[in-house]
Amino acid sequence: MHAVVKRNRAEGAGIEDVAKPKAAKGEVLVEMTSTSICGTDVHIWYWNHWAQNRLKRLPIIFGHEFCGKVVEVGPEVKSVSVGDMVSAETHIVDGTCYQCRTGRMHICRNMKILGVDTDGVFAEYVRLPEMNARKLPKGLEPNLGSLLEPMGNATFTVLPHDCMDDIKGKNVLVAGCGPIGLMAIPILKALGAKKVISTELASEEVRVRLAKKVGADAVLDASMKYDDLVSAIKAETEGNGADVALEMSGAPQALNLVFDALTPGGRVSILGLYADPVTLDVNNAVTFKSATVYGITGRRMFQTWDQMYKLLASEDFRAKLSSIITHTLPIRDIAKGMELIHTRQAAKVSLKPEW
Ligand SMILES: [Zn+2]
Ligand SMILES: [Zn+2]
């Protein structure tokens, strides 16, 4: 089969002819219908510091966002059948560690990540543990099916627990309008947020345009003077500050912002990843504010998936989600897709299995 293989510890990757995998016991084999490029894939492609430290096993087929059709099931597979359309939970867990046995599988101590630790989806076929294959809602468009993994990050950031009382009728700040921040905006609106205020650098024109398109009530320029930015958020929230603030940018200043712009007693979710340790005035940011803070990684397995499927039932929501896909390319042009993201021309790039 064709696959995009990262063979060398250097920039780039090549399309190669490799052996087609087989579904082993408890596994399914999926033929790709659609894939999309994640920030992680861009890091792997350009071989930045994160990728150099994180990727243990080369050569590897990378990529993890996809949907496709099950074409083979291994022995003992019960919940998925040949012909089912699926996407995947990309956290591959052992099911036996302390976290897995106490309802926190998404932070399994022996977790492997699809397309980072195991062969991924930039290929004609991928094999997956049965538990990771998630059947798509009926009729979901394939290009949206490949967005479920990042949409799950956004959904988990918005809903770190089952209760949505702090969203409905409330003011929410979304710091950072990368693809996952953009996805959080229509999720918040669908859940009844009163106002969604987002921040992004004005120079990120694609992101700013899309933030407005998917429903942000205000898009503030993150490059304005810090105190002015905090004041602008307060002005948008009757002087109170945000009830909930989602840090989705990975910029150190934004981590400070989500606390400084938070109303006392509010909630922060942190999804952004920082290149270096960040300084934060914990006394004033967290303690005296009595703030609730959630760290977000992956998706809750599998409550987040159920929450996503409910959101996807709305046609308006699906239209907003699909507007985040700015480019669709054949996978043979994957280098072009990487470049479009790297040079900030694209939000999400969708790849068709045309080799
Ligand atoms: Zn991803
Ligand atoms: Zn585990």
pLDDT digits (tens, 9 = 90+) for 323-343: 999 999 999 999 999 999 999
- The residue from 2, 33, 35, 40 that is catalytic is 40
CA torsion, ordered 311, 84, 62, 37, to nearest 10 deg: -40
Q: Any idea which ligand is nearest the CA of 107?
A: 2
pLDDT of amino acid 8? 96
- 296 CA distance to ligand 1 middle (Å): 14
Convert the pLDDT of each residue in 58-108 to its tens digit.
Answer: 999 999 999 999 999 999 999 999 999 999 999 999 999 999 999 999 999
Q: Any idea which ligand is nearest the CA of 100?
A: 2
Mean pLDDT, residues 146-164 taken together: 94
- 103 CA distance to ligand 2 middle (Å): 10
Is residue 43 annotated as a catalytic residue, yes or no? Answer: yes
Is residue 40 annotated as a catalytic residue, yes or no? Answer: yes
- 181 CA distance to ligand 1 middle (Å): 13
Residue 152 reports pLDDT greater than 80? yes
- The residue from 2, 33, 35, 43 that is catalytic is 43
Q: How far apart are CA 4 and CA 350, in angstroms?
A: 15
Share of the chain above pLDDT 90, in %: 98
Convert the pLDDT of each residue in 178-215 to its tens digit.
Answer: 999 999 999 999 999 999 999 999 999 999 999 999 99
Q: What is the mean pLDDT of the chain?
A: 97
Contact indicator for 142, 214 with CB cutoff of 8 Å: no
Q: Strands of the chain (E only): list them.
A: 2-6, 14-17, 27-36, 60-61, 65-73, 85-88, 91-92, 112-113, 125-129, 133-135, 171-175, 195-200, 218-221, 242-247, 262-270, 292-295, 325-330, 348-352
Kind and range of the H or E run holding 259: helix 252-260
Beta bridge mates, 128 = 28
Residue 164 reports pLDDT greater than 90? no
Coil vs helix vs strand at 123: strand
Q: Any idea which ligand is nearest the CA of 114?
A: 1
pLDDT bucket at 165, cuts 50 / 70 / 90 = confident
pLDDT of amino acid 303? 95
pLDDT of amino acid 163? 77
Convert the pLDDT of each residue in 263-294 to its tens digit.
Answer: 999 999 999 999 899 999 999 999 999 999 99
pLDDT of amino acid 162? 80
User: Does the predicted model carry a pTM greater than 0.85?
Assistant: yes
- 107 CA distance to ligand 2 middle (Å): 7
pLDDT of amino acid 39? 94
- 91 CA distance to ligand 2 middle (Å): 10
Contact indicator for 23, 81 with CB cutoff of 8 Å: no
